[in-house]
Homo-oligomer: A and B are copies of this chain.
């Protein structure tokens, strides 16, 4: 039945997300995904043919949830300061909901960088050529107005995203080394960090 089918397909995909994102392609087991979805292992192959195909689907969904967000945010009609606040805010919220995804994407892309090329070929909307042109102009504009000092757009954007993502992907290290593995302390750290990051960046580029 079409309803039931959709349901099964979704149950499989949800289970696959969970297992792949936590264990990676090589660490994941089809049997575990089937168990988590509450179905027979053969059904996985009925709906998704192979492990690789199922993985590809999961990866694409994870990727499209995280990467194109930055584009939207950079394209919005806001001042540089507002954009930074907006991006940090949104990204940290997103990370709070999906803490495993960035590590998953980073790890799988390091294992097989070719995936990104294939993704760009298959899904043209990901490949926005002049993402930075507009942002570059805006930065230059605000430099001329004496609002910010001169900064390279790609370095700035790397910092914005990196400062959001790093404490999440490096959670075990940070929680372990900085907070003696105190989970509550780490969570408190994250909670206050959003404001710190915004201030840190704006302070760095603002002309005083």
Q: Residues of A at under 8 Å CB distance from B? A: 22-27, 67, 100, 103, 105-107, 109-111, 113, 116-117, 120, 129, 131-132, 149, 151-152, 154-155, 157-159, 161-163, 165-167, 169-174, 176-178, 180-181, 189, 193, 196-197, 200-201, 203-205, 208
Contact = CB atoms under 8 A, between A and B. Distances in A.
A152 B196 contact: yes
Contacts of A120: 176
A130 to B, nearest CB: 10
A139 to B, nearest CB: 14
Tell me what chain A mostly uses at the interface: helix, strand, loop, or mixed: helix
A159 B200 contact: yes
A169 to B, nearest CB: 5
A136 to B, nearest CB: 12
Contact of A167 (B110, B162, B200): B162
Contacts of A23: 26, 111
A201 B197 CA distance: 11
Contacts of A174: 158
A56 to B, nearest CB: 16
A173 B26 contact: no
Contacts of A205: 203
Contacts of A201: 204
Given A24-B26, A155-B193, A106 B170 contact: yes
B181 A117 contact: yes
21 contacts: A23-B111, A24-B24, A27-B27, A67-B173, A106-B107, A106-B169, A106-B170, A117-B181, A120-B176, A129-B180, A151-B200, A154-B189, A155-B200, A158-B166, A162-B163, A162-B167, A162-B170, A163-B163, A165-B170, A200-B204, A203-B205
